[in-house]
């Protein structure tokens, strides 16, 4: 989506950038106003006090978009693959949203937010919305605000939302709890057969994409992944991860990736797994919001006497930390 908004009065367009009028913002976002979408995501990222109103206004539009996660180690070509997938999806007539998560510095808290630089081909396409988000120290490859940002893009009418994670390691698998379909990207030379069978990120893949398949070692990488898949135990009718080759920088293999995503979507719908995954996603969102509220309440206790008093008792050995935690939760009404 571009910043040019048709059929929107100039005064209304200007006010959207700073507005906290949730009904107006949702109305404009539904009409395709990229400024309204940007403002809603900003409210989500900042944890604004109107966030519950935003969530309530977007609730009727939830669950309509297909959410596809792309993850993998740094340098495997996630941004380039995302860019080419956007091209393929637009050719099908889909409206596409992209959330590109970039790492934030543990020292300054800043982030380059550079993934969208690789997606400039779509910068003027009104059917594409690209947003870079900082991880803000959140572990798991995503930002804490990503689930609600997905809801904003769903509310804005996106048919497909692509979530590109931070370059991740073996244990950063949070994207699997957010996406309907998870793509794990690999590249030749990233490890041997032992690396392929290690637990973690490779276990979350619905589709494996061996990118940069023109490099030496691509055949061995495919064989290692296929061997790993063969070791897994699957019951009748269970999904068997697909392995696809691509050279995203040349646009090769992208149709095969899209076909594998379609095949997985069909399987999800036939087996009722799509509903199960989305209910699990909703449960994770509810839990995260509840825990965040508890953390805020506990943080406020630091300014009072309850937490310091309990801490002093634990330090003196008068009570144990579990008893102190139980007492603290009782005081919070939890």
Q: What is the pLDDT of residues 275-325, one digit of tens each?
A: 999 998 888 888 888 888 877 777 766 667 788 889 999 999 999 999 998
3-state secondary structure of 184: strand
At 63-103, the pLDDT tens digits run 889 999 998 888 889 999 999 999 999 999 999 999 988 76
Q: 221 with 246: CB under 8 angstroms?
A: no
Residue 217's Cα: distance from chain center in Å? Answer: 30
Average pLDDT for residues 220-248, to the nearest whole number?
Answer: 89
Alpha-carbon span 312 to 223, nearest angstrom: 59
Residue 140 has a pLDDT of 45
Outline which parts of the chain fall under CATH 3.40.50.300: 63-271
Q: Which two tokens stand for residue 307?
A: 């937490």
pTM (2 d.p.): 0.82
**More confident of the two residues 193 and 20:** 20
Residue 166 has a pLDDT of 75
Average pLDDT for residues 214-243, to the nearest whole number?
Answer: 89
Alpha-carbon span 307 to 163, nearest angstrom: 39
Place of tokens 């076909």: 259
For residue 163, what is the enclosing H or E element? strand 160-164
Choose from 24-38, 161-175, 185-199, 219-233 the range with maximum mean pLDDT.
24-38
pLDDT at 104 over 50: yes
**More confident of the two residues 118 and 63:** 63
Q: Which two tokens stand for residue 67?
A: 């959410």
Residue 200 has a pLDDT of 58
Residue 260 has a pLDDT of 97
Instruction: Give me the CATH code for the 63-271 domain, please.
Output: 3.40.50.300
Q: How confident is the model at residue 46 (pLDDT cuts 50, 70, 90)?
A: confident
pLDDT at 227 over 70: yes
pLDDT at 116 over 70: no
Q: 173 with 140: CB under 8 angstroms?
A: yes
pLDDT at 57 over 80: yes
pLDDT at 30 over 70: yes
Q: 45 with 38: CB under 8 angstroms?
A: no
Q: 44 with 54: CB under 8 angstroms?
A: yes
Alpha-carbon span 283 to 265, nearest angstrom: 21
Residue 195 has a pLDDT of 53
Alpha-carbon span 298 to 302, nearest angstrom: 7
Q: Which two tokens stand for residue 267?
A: 């399987």
Alpha-carbon span 292 to 310, nearest angstrom: 22
Average pLDDT for residues 26-36, to the nearest whole number?
Answer: 92
Average pLDDT for residues 158-163, to the nearest whole number?
Answer: 96
Q: How confident is the model at residue 124 (pLDDT cuts 50, 70, 90)?
A: confident
């Amino acid at each position: 989506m571009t910043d040019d908004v048709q059929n929107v009065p100039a005064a209304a367009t200007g006010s959207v950038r700073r507005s906290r009028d949730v009904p107006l913002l949702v109305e404009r976002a539904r009409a395709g106003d990229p400024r309204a979408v940007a403002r809603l995501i900003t409210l989500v990222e900042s944890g604004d006090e109107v966030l519950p109103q935003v969530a309530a206004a977007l609730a009727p539009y939830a669950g309509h978009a297909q959410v596809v996660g792309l993850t993998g180690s740094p340098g495997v070509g996630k941004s380039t693959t995302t860019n080419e997938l956007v091209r393929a999806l637009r050719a099908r007539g889909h409206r596409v949203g992209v959330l590109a998560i970039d790492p934030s510095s543990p020292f300054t808290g800043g982030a380059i937010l550079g993934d969208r630089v690789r997606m400039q081909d779509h910068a003027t396409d009104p059917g594409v919305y690209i947003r870079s988000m900082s991880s803000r120290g959140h572990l798991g490859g995503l930002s804490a605000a990503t689930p609600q940002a997905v809801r904003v893009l769903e509310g804005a009418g996106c048919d497909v939302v692509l979530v590109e994670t931070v370059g991740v390691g073996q244990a950063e698998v949070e994207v699997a709890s957010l996406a309907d379909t998870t793509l794990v990207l690999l590249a030749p030379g990233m490890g041997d057969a032992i690396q392929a069978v290690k637990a973690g990120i490779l276990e979350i893949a619905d589709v494996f994409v061996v990118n940069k398949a023109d490099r030496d070692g691509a055949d061995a990488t495919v064989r290692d992944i296929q061997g790993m898949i063969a070791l897994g135990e699957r019951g009748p009718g269970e999904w068997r991860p697909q392995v696809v080759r691509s050279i995203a920088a040349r646009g090769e293999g992208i149709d095969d990736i899209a076909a594998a995503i379609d095949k997985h979507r069909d399987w999800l719908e036939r087996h009722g797994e799509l509903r199960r995954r989305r209910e699990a996603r909703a449960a994770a969102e509810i839990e995260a919001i509840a825990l965040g509220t508890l953390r805020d309440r506990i943080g406020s206790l630091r300014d009072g006497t309850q937490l310091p008093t309990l801490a002093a008792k634990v330090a003196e050995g008068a009570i144990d930390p579990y008893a102190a935690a139980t007492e603290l939760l009782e005081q919070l009404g939890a």
